[in-house]
Structure 1
Amino acid sequence: MISLVVPTLGRPSLAALLDALAAQLGEKRSDAASDVELLLVDDRGEDAGELAVPGALTAYTKVLTGRGAGPAAARNLGWRAARGEWVVFLDDDVVPAPDWAARMRADLAAPGRVGGVQGVVEVPLPEHRRPTDWERGTAGLADGRWITADMAYRRAALAAVGGFDERFPRAYREDAELAHRVRRAGWELVRGERRVTHPVRPESRWVSLRTQRGNADDALLRRRYGRRWRTDLDLPPGRRPRHTAITAAGALALAAVAAALQAWSGAGLPGARIPGDRVGIVVAGHNLTARYTHELYRTWQERPAYLPARFALHVQDTDHVGTLSEVLSATGEGFTVGGASASGNVGIVHAARLVAAGAVDCCVLVGAVTELTPMHHRGFAVLGALAEPGGDPAAACRPFDQDRRGFVPGEAAAALVLERPAAAARRGAEVLATVPGYALGLDANRLADPDAAGQARVIRAALAAAGLAPHEVDYVNAHATGSRLGDETELASLHDVLGAAAGRPWVNATKALTGHCLGSAGVVEAVATVAQLTGGFVHPNPNLARPIDARIRFAGPGPEPARLRYALSTGFGFGGVNTAVVLARTADGG
């Protein structure tokens, strides 16, 4: 006898499976012998009602009540109640081919050493469009080994290994793990000729969460079988590196979106009904997907077919622009800007220009997360820019300190909304600060050696654009990465511009708190500067124990109250990119 075991949650697809079986098995007289029995394991729970079984199958069928403990437990209940020499497991969402029953009998006429025979699973995909990620994932069943969508085992083989491991509560790894134990017990597993179709179920909003829960099963397999569990269980390399890379790409865009939405909401723009073509998007930063590409490269080399369908979109920095424009329904001007570590300030300059020129009424500026690859870490270390490892990590970032060792990477996204004064006034928006002046210039030098004269030139130009004299600057958010040469060069430029007033303003280093956020640093630090302007304080520089210049009024290890009106924020990047932005607290202190 052959026992067919079908665990079910009562999905509508069950009817199609049972109808197909009824058409092939035919109606059986109650007193006639049969070589087939059908065991339906009803895993729906209590008070679910009776399962509808076609009349032609009634004499073949026995319904078992499951515990609702998952597919592994349901299949165990089924095969332990089975009377057949062979137990064929079928999912309740497959449709057997018209000749499935005949081919099944042929498949199971296998030599005694064969303990399992897998059917062929076909997954239809849309013909006139590209498949979704969910559809592509389901299509992977066609290449899966020993999956229980249609898998037959000798009952003796199941009994020898104790059946499915019920510690795997999901339909994810329990089939491969069982197959491994059956083969290890001395049985052979082969592929048969019978065929089923596995339609793609509609995806729900929770599909990603359910898929990621499978990581717990992977962790259990690793604990049980060691680091080589994929090889031992005859599983493909898997899509986790790809999933990690895709998730990384998504997380980068998500961080940008989260920052933008917070700024958008904080500016009171939801419901403001600003026309989409009057909203601009500027994303500060470049090489934003370097880590994503790095993580994906090995998977692509080993299995090129697993290159994400949207790789060509995700790999471009403009994916951030497109994502943000879609979320905010922005159809005005938009682009990315880059200037190495000065990218954030370059973004502020270009966003301010868009608004000042009347190209848009408001512009959302996002400093996007930059993730370094191991190659980047090594490259910065070779230049001597990166802080050397060792010592207390909390004390590694030391801008303006005599014991500074280089910059410590940080990762953050931040966003600002810049708006035309008239547009902000019309909707009664709270204005936190203004941007009265800015400047951007180059050193005519592609190397990593900063130039005090070039920095002084843009600082002087920004103050002039704002109509400020040196003695009116209350606060300097310095670029201050903690590099040996960079910090000294920046102080030299401040002395050059501010002259006798160089000791008046507070000089601070936000990177002492955040690390160097690279492309987003200028935006992150503009947010920190506005918070200090409006909050009336100066944040600490906690690791400044031995200042390199006693003439400068550095922020100390703790916060200080301060009445601030005008702030200067600098940003300098490799390749001689120099920027300076003036931020001003509104007259009412808002």
Structure 2
Amino acid sequence: MSARRKSNGRRVVITGAGTINALGGDVPSTLAAMAEGRCGIGPLDIRDVDRLAIQIGGQVTGYDEQKHFNRQQIALYDRFTQFTLIAAKEAMAGAGLSFTGELAARSGVVLGTSGGGLNTQDENYRAVYEDGKNRVHPFIVPKLMNNAATSHLSIEYNLKGPSFTVATACASSNHAMGQAFQMIRTGMADVMLTGGSEAMLCFGGIKAWEGLRVMSRDACRPFSANRNGMVQGEGAAVFVFEDYDMARARGADILAEVVGFAMTSDAADIVMPSAQGAERAITGAMADAGLDPEDVGYINAHGTGTAANDKTECSAVAHAFGPHADRLMMSSTKSMHGHLIGGTGAVELLACIMALRDGIIAPTIGYEEPDPECALDVVPNEARHAKVGAVLSNAFAFGGLNAVLALRSV
């Protein structure tokens, strides 16, 4: 660890984690799938799938909302909110916290999502435009609004501190978790529930992405020379970020420490990524954490499986790490769970925690052919056992918005 690591305020640790995604309905099953290199991408089971050119996705299969929520809750919770509440329940159980009095007033929620209640929008557009109905359910607006999941977590757990939602496309979760980290570090809050959720796997959500012509019809193969596009996924991951001293005092199980965060803007193009913007976010996160390149052992890549992203990201990492880039491991778990858009960084943070806590580096599956423009160690196809002390999690969004988190073991 670099001797130049500076103190920017209070230390921030992760004391709870929860998820539901295409790889599993909780953290243990998700990490087991990542360690096995299992693929959660498969044929979509949605309405009018036969009208779509893209018919695969990282879908949460076998999901029955009635097993988790009653009829009144289902009327109020879009699928992305349901996923968030399920993930948060697991995270809160792991953290062992309850919020009353002063702690409730100093605890909040920051979540990332890009589409919000897209399933609700899709269903009601059909009702109005296709079926010709003139009325919709009175709860449609509170059900589809992007801040619905944040608000329901606040209500569910009595979180009365700073709470809001971040929508920055594919960087939403990393931006959200970075803001939660900063709030605790600077003393604005003591505990924050944070992460992200997305449920875009509906007809309208997929049809919109088809228009970009960046989607694969068969598989997500990040960094492989024969990659042919990204694959959408869905799900959520929620974490409990907490002041380190408070966590130690109550004997909490600390999963990892969040030590740095940086965000940059490309200011260049609405869809084409910039290696310079990504590199500045990477070096900024390391500087914020006081890490030197040789301190970082693993990066969870943005790694979408598109030619533009993969080559740009590899160039950014190579420049940011210099000679150490040859000794760095970097993988994309999107090859397994798909691209959760606004929720993707949250699910991917689980791979970072697994690397730090368990010494298991999740692989990039589907890797078939080396690409000379992606010449880094992308941990192809099989997980690897390795001891790493610090990791980065990259997120680079449409609109040229970049967010990188740095974590280390405790």
Q: Residue 114 of structure 2: which of 262, 286, 309 is its match?
A: 286
Worse-superposed segment, 406-415 or 543-552:
543-552
The Cα shift of 1:274 comes to 6.6
One-letter amino acid matched to 2:316: S
| TM-score with structure 2 setting the length | 0.78
Match of 1:299 in 2: 127
Q: Residue 186 of structure 2: which of 357, 361, 366 is its match?
A: 357
Q: Contact between 1:570 and 1:580, CA under 8 Å: does it hold in 2?
A: yes
Q: Contact between 1:416 and 1:527, CA under 8 Å: does it hold in 2?
A: no
The Cα shift of 1:303 comes to 6.1
Q: Contact between 1:342 and 1:572, CA under 8 Å: does it hold in 2?
A: yes
Q: Residue 164 of structure 2: which of 316, 319, 335 is its match?
A: 335
One-letter amino acid matched to 1:258: I
Match of 1:374 in 2: 203
Q: Contact between 2:115 and 2:342, CA under 8 Å: does it hold in 1?
A: no
The residue correspondences of 1:30-109 to structure 2 (distance < 5 A) are none
Q: Contact between 2:79 and 2:199, CA under 8 Å: does it hold in 1?
A: no
How big is each residue's C-alpha offset from its partner over 1:445-494, in whole Å with a ceiling of 9 and x where there is no partner?
A: 34110000111111111111111111111001000000011100000001
Match of 1:459 in 2: 282
How big is each residue's C-alpha offset from its partner over 1:232-262, in whole Å with a ceiling of 9 and x where there is no partner?
A: xxxxxxxxxxx9x966944322210111111
The Cα shift of 1:268 comes to 1.9
| TM-score with structure 1 setting the length | 0.55
Is 2:379 the counterpart of 1:555?
A: yes
CA pair 248-400 structure 1, distance change in 2 beyond 3 A: farther
CA pair 274-511 structure 1, distance change in 2 beyond 3 A: farther
Match of 2:309 in 1: 486
CA pair 310-427 structure 1, distance change in 2 beyond 3 A: same
Match of 1:511 in 2: 334
The Cα shift of 1:582 comes to 0.6
The Cα shift of 1:517 comes to 0.8
One-letter amino acid matched to 1:340: A
The residue correspondences of 1:236-255 to structure 2 (distance < 5 A) are 249-255=77-83
CA pair 274-433 structure 1, distance change in 2 beyond 3 A: farther
Q: Contact between 2:172 and 2:343, CA under 8 Å: does it hold in 1?
A: yes
Residues of 2 paired with 1:256 and 1:436: CA distance? 25
Residues of 2 paired with 1:431 and 1:513: CA distance? 26
Match of 2:152 in 1: 323
CA pair 273-509 structure 1, distance change in 2 beyond 3 A: farther
Q: Contact between 2:198 and 2:236, CA under 8 Å: does it hold in 1?
A: yes
One-letter amino acid matched to 2:337: T
Q: Residue 260 of structure 1: which of 88, 92, 104 is its match?
A: 88
One-letter amino acid matched to 1:347: A
Q: Contact between 1:377 and 1:386, CA under 8 Å: does it hold in 2?
A: no
One-letter amino acid matched to 2:386: A
The Cα shift of 1:271 comes to 7.8
Worse-superposed segment, 484-493 or 536-545:
536-545
Give 1 or 2 for the bigger CA radius of gyration. Answer: 1
Residues of 2 paired with 1:414 and 1:551: CA distance? 30
SS at match of 1:344: helix
Residues of 1 paired with 2:79 and 2:144: CA distance? 13
One-letter amino acid matched to 1:561: H
Worse-superposed segment, 361-370 or 547-556:
547-556
Residues of 2 paired with 1:484 and 1:446: CA distance? 16
CA pair 248-512 structure 1, distance change in 2 beyond 3 A: farther
Match of 2:42 in 1: none
One-letter amino acid matched to 1:251: R
Q: Contact between 2:268 and 2:274, CA under 8 Å: does it hold in 1?
A: no
The Cα shift of 1:348 comes to 1.2
The Cα shift of 1:366 comes to 3.0
Percent sequence identity is 30
Match of 1:277 in 2: 105
The Cα shift of 1:306 comes to 4.7
SS at match of 1:275: helix
How big is each residue's C-alpha offset from its partner over 1:253-304, in whole Å with a ceiling of 9 and x where there is no partner?
A: 2210111111111112148987211111111113211221111222235464
The Cα shift of 1:542 comes to 2.1
Match of 1:524 in 2: 347
CA pair 272-314 structure 1, distance change in 2 beyond 3 A: closer
One-letter amino acid matched to 1:322: S
The residue correspondences of 1:205-216 to structure 2 (distance < 5 A) are none
SS at match of 1:266: helix
Q: Residue 405 of structure 2: which of 567, 577, 581 is its match?
A: 581
Structure 1 gaps, min length 5: 1-207, 213-242
Worse-superposed segment, 373-382 or 490-499:
373-382
Is 2:270 the counterpart of 1:441?
A: no
Residues of 1 paired with 2:231 and 2:77: CA distance? 23
CA pair 559-546 structure 1, distance change in 2 beyond 3 A: same
CA pair 267-547 structure 1, distance change in 2 beyond 3 A: farther
Q: Contact between 1:439 and 1:579, CA under 8 Å: does it hold in 2?
A: yes
Aligned residues: 340
Match of 1:383 in 2: 212
Residues of 2 paired with 1:279 and 1:465: CA distance? 24
One-letter amino acid matched to 2:97: L
Structure 2 gaps, min length 5: 1-65
Q: Residue 391 of structure 2: which of 567, 570, 581 is its match?
A: 567
Match of 1:222 in 2: none
Residues of 1 paired with 2:290 and 2:174: CA distance? 19
